[in-house]
């Protein structure tokens, strides 16, 4: 046998170490996963493709036990394993929900069930699933208020709305929670407290799969589209993979097929949708690095700051943009300023003699070279302002790390990705100006 030289051996060992680093650490021997798999097996779930594992970068996820090819079925979870509003109605809570007026929403029914089952502890038939659910969440609604103010403007507003929505749900549900008192030895006010509802709401919001259910009279008119999917919900998001997911009416199971190959022992991903990082953080509590869908939003206040209040047509221009929905979703992306942002800037840059052409501007027509140039110049100014603002926040995060403590890394990741996008956009705008004759 040919003996390898020292350098080749070192290379091989290094490659092996790197491969090990890319692979996950198998967690299927841990008691909570053993109990979960046993519980799922009792409900008809058999799986040989996936293993729970801990991965560098994404944390807990599912590892492939064999190479997966495009078109392979990743997972098939029987209906009996799914937790839906129908599951709640067939529990001891069903009678109370049926009698309560005005009717509760399917979302509140699921939240109530999760809180009640978590409180039941060892007695809950759902204990193996509850034991693997996160104890805390990183949605903006759960962030420290001092950290919340360091989020980008549009996300900060949505995070505050999210927090308010949970608070309103809690206040409006107090009477319903009190009606459940006969089911509990302890006071319902202690069981169904604000932090319990926040945890349950985040569980439903971050982990449910979309599954349309028929409208039931005992529920409010809010759509019943939620299903919690034990084990399946350990699959992490990757914006670059493609999957097909649907409930199979014939087999009565929720199936996911992959269109992206995956090597043995590597993490199996699914895609939650073409979401940017602000949406991912808001809805799921995480940020995806190198996310091709990511963008930095320009608020109407920032946009208008660069246009003189002395412009006699300013009010009319703002009104036009508002009426045609051109004041929201204005962004910088990896490929520079969006068409919507440039269009809004072109309308605001129209000269007094060009104002009559605003309809053509909205349709994408070129009105004049000076209008095009002013829009690009203003885009560059806004981009540089946002770069400075983002750098300032990143410095603040580094400085106040000790005081803010939890979830700082998450906001840092979001802001760092924003900075990279803005720097790329500034470069593109600079090249566009250099290319002009």
Residue 179 confidence (pLDDT) = 97
Ranges of beta strands (E only) in 11-79 are: 25-26, 50-55, 59-64, 73-78
Mean pLDDT by 10 residues, the chain (437 residues): 47 48 81 96 91 90 95 95 96 96 97 98 97 94 88 91 96 98 97 98 95 92 95 94 93 94 93 93 92 95 93 94 95 97 96 93 94 96 97 91 79 95 96 71
d(CA 258, CA 271): 10
d(CA 104, CA 93): 12
Residue 9 confidence (pLDDT) = 53
Residue 271 confidence (pLDDT) = 92
Q: Which CATH superfamily is 83-228 part of?
A: set domain protein methyltransferase, domain 1 (3.90.1410.10)
Question: How does strand 269-270 pair with strand 236-237?
Answer: parallel
Residue 436 confidence (pLDDT) = 61
Q: How far is CA 188 from CA 94, 158, 196, in A?
A: 17, 30, 11
CATH 3.90.1420 boundaries in the chain: 295-435
Residue 364 confidence (pLDDT) = 92
Would you list the DSSP string of 137-202?
--SGGGS-HHHHTTS-HHHHHHHHHHHHHHHHHHHHHHHHHHHTGGG-SS-HHHHT-HHHHHHHHH
Which residues fall within 8 angstroms of residue 27, CB to CB, at 6 or more apart?
A: 33, 51, 52, 53, 54, 60
- Find out whether the peptide bond into 356 is cis, omega within 30 degrees of 0: no
Residue 58 confidence (pLDDT) = 87
d(CA 184, CA 188): 7
Residue 259, token pair as written in the block: 């269109």
Residue 224, token pair as written in the block: 């019943």
For residue 50, the cross-strand partners are 64
Continuous segment of H or E residues that includes residue 297: strand 295-297
Q: CA end-to-end span of the chain, whole Å?
A: 67
Residue 437 confidence (pLDDT) = 57
CATH 3.90.1410.10 boundaries in the chain: 83-228
Q: Thinking of the domain 295-435, which architecture would CATH place it in?
A: Alpha-Beta Complex (3.90)
Q: Three-class SS of residue 437?
A: coil
d(CA 72, CA 243): 10
Residue 264 confidence (pLDDT) = 92
Residue 257 confidence (pLDDT) = 95
Q: Three-class SS of residue 292?
A: coil
């Amino acid at each position: 046998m040919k003996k390898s030289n020292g350098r080749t051996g070192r290379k091989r060992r290094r490659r092996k170490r790197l491969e090990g680093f890319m692979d996950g650490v198998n967690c299927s021997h841990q008691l909570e996963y053993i109990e979960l798999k046993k519980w799922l097996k009792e409900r008809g779930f058999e799986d040989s493709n996936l293993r729970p594992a801990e991965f560098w970068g994404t944390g807990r996820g599912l590892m492939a036990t064999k190479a997966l090819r495009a078109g392979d079925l990743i997972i098939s979870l029987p209906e009996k394993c799914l937790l839906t509003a129908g599951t709640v109605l067939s529990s001891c809570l069903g009678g109370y929900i049926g009698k309560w007026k005005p009717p509760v929403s399917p979302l509140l029914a699921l939240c109530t069930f999760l809180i009640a089952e978590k409180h039941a502890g060892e007695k809950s038939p759902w204990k193996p699933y509850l034991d693997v659910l996160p104890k805390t969440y990183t949605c903006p609604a759960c962030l420290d208020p001092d950290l919340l103010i360091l989020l980008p403007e549009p996300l900060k507003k949505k995070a505050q709305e999210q927090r308010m929505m949970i608070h309103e749900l809690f206040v409006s549900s107090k009477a319903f929670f009190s009606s459940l008192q006969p089911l509990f030895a302890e006071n319902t006010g202690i069981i169904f407290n604000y932090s319990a509802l926040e945890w349950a709401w985040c569980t439903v919001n971050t982990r449910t799969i979309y599954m349309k259910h028929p409208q039931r009279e005992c529920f409010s008119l809010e759509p019943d589209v939620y299903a919690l999917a034990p084990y399946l919900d350990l699959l992490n998001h990757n914006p670059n993979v493609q999957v097909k997911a649907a409930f199979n009416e014939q087999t009565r199971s929720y199936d996911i097929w992959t269109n992206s190959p995956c090597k043995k022992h590597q993490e199996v991903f699914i895609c939650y949708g073409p979401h940017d990082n602000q949406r991912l953080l808001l809805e799921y509590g995480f940020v995806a690095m190198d996310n091709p869908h990511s963008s930095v939003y320009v608020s109407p206040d920032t946009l208008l700051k660069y246009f003189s209040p002395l412009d006699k047509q300013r009010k009319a221009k703002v009104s036009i943009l508002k009426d045609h929905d051109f004041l929201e979703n204005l962004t910088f992306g990896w490929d520079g300023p969006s068409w919507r942002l440039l269009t809004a800037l072109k309308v605001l840059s129209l000269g007094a003699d060009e104002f009559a052409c605003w309809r053509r501007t909205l349709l994408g027509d070129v009105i004049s070279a000076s209008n095009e140039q002013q829009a690009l110049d203003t885009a560059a100014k806004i981009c540089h302002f946002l770069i400075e603002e983002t750098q300032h926040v990143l410095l603040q995060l580094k400085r106040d790390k000790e005081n803010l403590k939890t979830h700082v890394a998450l906001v840092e990741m979001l802001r760092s990705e924003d900075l990279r996008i803005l720097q790329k956009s500034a470069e593109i705008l600079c090249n566009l100006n250099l290319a002009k004759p």
